Structure 1
Amino acid sequence: MKKTYLILTGLPMLFLVTLLLTSCSDEDSTTSNTTYETTDDDIAEDGDSFTLDCSTSDAEQSANTEIETMRQAVVDFRNSLSNTLLEEVSVCLDDERFYLWHNTPANNDNRDGITYGDLSDDQLVAFKDILQLFLSAGGYQKVYEITELSEGWLHDVQSTVWDPDFYSIDMFGDPETSGSWGFQLDGHHCAINFLVHGDNVSIVPAFLGGEPAADTWNGIEFDIFSDERDLALNLYNSLDTSELASASSTSSSHSLEVGPADMNGDPDPYIGTYDYSGFATGLKYSDMSAAAQANLILVMQEYVYNLTDNFADVWWTDIIENIDDTYFVWINDSGTSPTATSQFYYRIYNPYLWAEFNTEGSTGANANTIADYNHVHTITRIPNNPSTDNGGDYGIFAYLINQEGPKTLLEHYALADHHKSSKFKFDYQLAAKAKITTHTHDGHTHSHEG
């Protein structure tokens, strides 16, 4: 049996907004027809071929071999889907579904797209292989422990509410013909946005959690956030009295400040226009001792290097060039000394990295079986601070939807000398920040001039 799938990409779209975005080349966005063919006997005969008709401004396909491997894996995965699943999973780059991820349990079909449970064994393996192309070994291990081990543990508690099969997939744009595309993994304790635009790859926003965060399921032990927890405790214990006084918050609440939406159907509340400048509080990196600075760097890298190394290195360059503008805040329950088995919260704010960690407390059916410290939420973002023009979650995809929002990560990639990958121009200029910094990670060193 052979099925044919037709995907149509649209003409360029001119955005008449405060930030005028125009293409340098007509090759960036074209109308094209792509035919997907498969001979997979497992695919059912389910009607006419599916057509996705979009009109967005796309980048050229990357010549980067690592991105090409990612792209081909996604194309092959799409080719394996039936018409019905392909139609359910596919939307254009400017679709609001990118922003509708949330933290409620994934039962009762409260996600868009397709689910793990919709896929055959081979298709599910192929999708997990794609995840491993985007994520580092450590990043993928966390996703595996969240979506399969911790969620499997919860499934044994209440199978109609929690299930690894409930995790959903949305796919954005057409990787067959375009260099701008992405996909989203969304479920109870894992929501990651995988985005490709030309030579640029990102995975933010990324919400990762676990209840339990550490336990045993099916004979397999897991401790999802051991590094985020233990490295942060090392940092806390390296602070002197004055540093602790600056870092410590007296807030009685330590919920995530910029976490996921609370309800199904609510968009991400912190898209694009959200101003992070009010979070420039706490202990500043430049006021830390050398030992504390080194420990803070290790905590920050734990979040950044969930992304595969080569692209995390690019992200880290931006972070380290703004390292002096990094702030650290800690909230400790009841004024006690924090330990691996106590509740605490911390956040890190840098123009190119927002990271939060919180012990949420046990909830609902687990209130009497899981210790409060063993329910953890984390969030990783790239702040979009209007006062600095830096960063931004969702990159070009945020631009397409938030047409009146502030500058996005795309503009940084177009203008920064150390990227030089975008072919887009803008109708204003930004002043470069001259600075040379050196970063060492996993035994290799980088020096960059900003």
Structure 2
Amino acid sequence: MTTQAEFRNYLFPLDGERLAPLRGLDALTFGKVSRSHPMAGEVIAKWDALSEELFHGLTCDGHIECGHYHPGDEGAPTAAMVQAASNLLAMLPAGDRRKLCYPIEANEWRKWSNPEVLINPNGLRLEDYGDDVRAAILQLLEASMGASGYRKARGCMITNAFLGELCDLPLIMNEWSYNFLLFGEPSLDKPWGWNFYGHHLALNCFILNGQVVISPTFMGAEPNIIDSGPNTGLRLFDAEEIGGLNLMRSLSADQRERATTYKLLHDPAMPEGRYHPGDQRHLGGAFQDNRIVPYEGVPISEFDARQKQAAMDIVAAFVEYLPKGSMEAKLAQVERNLDRTYWSWIGGHGDDDPFYYRIQGPVLMVEFDHHSGVWLNNSEPAKCHIHTVVRTPNGNDYGKDLLRQHYEAIHPGKAPGHE
């Protein structure tokens, strides 16, 4: 576990070459500047191209397994979500509503990103609005999510502001450095949704009747603890970090060896493309909607009952942002496919070792990664910088498969399908 002092060892000097040239830039200007940076510009250009691909969905082998997702009523708080969205729309002038609203099939769903660099300035930028609009957007998020998951999301936003204070870059990183988009028309029985994205937080929420899909998601923090100011003591991702380490340690020596796909977090044995300058070890981050991610590590079918429950507890920590009924349905779906799900690990498993792990099966992929510094100066991964990702494989990120089935039911043979 991270100590309060650890990240303090990695602070850049405020008047140094890393931070001083950026003072006074906002996130949008920083994004424009980054496009001309040799390394960042190349990464962004590749992301732009990926975002324009026809959606297929993340798979283990390039082929969609059909039949995993079914429309139904999971008891989602749809009425509360519709009311919150309607309240937001009612307070906005016509011009802002046009900026906010997109068709349900719009490709802007897929243009979210998690860096502090504002690459795609779509929708409404929260920092451009007053407390009333910000509160209305947060009320829609809160109505759509489980209570503990909503608190975690708010924790990411608050920690982003803390990082902005540490770096004296409040125009780039603050509590409201996020964009919000609305898709479709809020409805009790028609498909609609929203997405919310910015530094270390991205959520994509699709709603149909009493069913909610929140995926892809990205949550992270640098540092993952606040040690000064009014939010002192706020920590993020303890359950995911401790749960993953304990599960790895509970395996037999042979299982740990087979689960460890690479010994080092930036391992010379990694093939080209396995390590990404932005995502590092993550495979399901922004713009990876169509990625092929082969199963690796140890099948959870080998685990004993206690270890299987530990794996499910980790999954629950990742998807706690779902409202109660939707979370119960998701956990049941994962459990039905648990014997086709894999556990993989990169790094060591000592008390001080940073690490990466992935739980991947037909209906869920979650990733946890300790990163090297971006706004802290640790050149090697450290436990004070954490990224987490959730994906819904086989075509249901953004609720795409449910939307396809909905259209098929209304207009058989005319539904938009996968690639």
Per the normalisation by structure 2, the TM-score is 0.72
Which of 208, 223, 227 aligns to 1:197? It is 208
State the Cα distance separating 1:81 from its structure 2 match: 1.1
Q: Is 1:93 equivalent to 2:104 in the alignment?
A: yes
8 A Cα contact 1:338 1:344, kept in partner: no
Cα-to-partner distance string for 1:149-196 (whole Å, 9 max, x where unaligned): 333332441223212222110111111586211111110110100110
Map Cα deviations across residues 28-83 of structure 1 (whole Å, 9 max, x no partner): xxxxxxxxxxxxxxxxxxxxxxxxxxxxxxxx998967211111111111111122
The superposition leaves residues 377-405 of structure 1 with CA deviations (integer Å, 9 ceiling, x where unpaired) of 11001111xxxxxx521123xxxxxxxxx
1:310 aligns with 2:310: no
Aligned to 2:384: 374
CA distance in 2, matches of 1:112, 1:286: 43
Deviations 1:235-268 (A, max 9, x none): 112111122122111264463443334xxxxxx2
Contact (CA 8 Å) 2:88, 2:136: kept in 1 or not?
yes
Match of 1:258 in 2: 283
Q: Quick check: 1:347 aligned with 2:376?
A: no
Counterpart CA distance in 1 for 2:113 and 2:93 is 27
Checking the alignment, whether the CA contact within 8 Å between 1:362 and 1:370 is kept in structure 2 is: yes
Deviation at 1:216, TM superposition (A): 2.5
State the distance in 2 between where 1:89 and 1:196 align.
17
SS at match of 2:262: coil
Written as runs of structure 1 = structure 2, the 5 A alignment for 1:296-445 is 296-332=311-347, 336-339=348-351, 341-363=352-374, 365-367=375-377, 372-384=382-394, 391-396=395-400, 408-410=401-403, 423=409
Q: More strand per residue: 1 or 2?
A: 1
Asked if the contact 1:139/1:306 (under 8 Å) is kept, the reply is yes
Which is bigger in relative contact order (C-alpha 8 A, separation at least 6)? Answer: 2
Distance across 1 between alignment mates of 2:353 and 2:226: 16
8 A Cα contact 1:181 1:196, kept in partner: yes
User: Is this contact kept in 2: 1:191–1:206, CA < 8 A?
Assistant: yes
What is the percentage of aligned positions where both structures have the same residue?
Answer: 24
Q: Distance in 2 between matches of 1:338 and 1:238?
A: 13
The match for 2:79 among 49, 53, 68 is 68
Contact 2:354 2:383 in 1 (8 A): yes
Contact 1:345 1:358 in 2 (8 A): yes
2:235 aligns with 223
Residue identity opposite 2:138 in structure 1:
K
Encode CA deviations 1:83-109: one digit per residue, 9 max, x unaligned.
2221111111121111111122145x8
Query: Is the alpha carbon distance of 1:177 and 1:349 closer, same or farther for their aligned partners in structure 2, counting shifts above 3 Å?
Result: closer
- SS of residue in 2 equivalent to 1:249: strand
What is the aligned counterpart of 1:127 among 119, 123, 137? 137
Aligned residues of 2:156 and 2:221 also touching (Cα < 8 A):
yes
> How large is the RMSD of aligned CA atoms in angstroms?
3.0
**Residue in 2 that maps onto 1:270:** 289
User: Which residue in the other structure is 1:80 paired with?
Assistant: 91
How many residue pairs get aligned? The number is 330
**Whole-Å separation in 2 of the counterparts to 1:65 and 1:315:** 12
TM-aligned CA distance change 1:163 to 1:351, over 3 Å: same
Q: Which has more radius of gyration?
A: 1
Number of the residue aligned with 2:146: 136
Q: TM-score normalized by structure 1?
A: 0.67
Contact preservation (8 Å) 2:77, 2:144: no
Q: Which amino acid aligns with 1:312?
A: M
What amino acid is the match of 1:144? R
Task: Please give the alpha-carbon distance, in whole angstroms, between the structure 1 residues aligned to 2:76 and 2:200.
Answer: 32
Q: Which stretches in structure 2 are left out of the alignment for 5+ residues?
A: 1-53, 57-70, 267-274, 414-419
**Structure-1 separation of matches of 2:333 and 2:412:** 20
2:309 to 288, 294, 297: 294
The residue type paired with residue 338 of structure 1 is G
CA spacing shift, 1:184–1:324, aligned 2, 3 Å: same
CA distance in 1, matches of 2:74, 2:149: 25
Question: For 2:258, which of 223, 243, 246 is the aligned residue?
Answer: 246
Gapped regions of structure 1 (runs ≥ 5): 1-16, 20-59, 262-267, 385-390, 397-407, 415-421, 428-450
Q: Give the Cα separation in 1 of the matches to 2:223 and 2:411.
A: 47
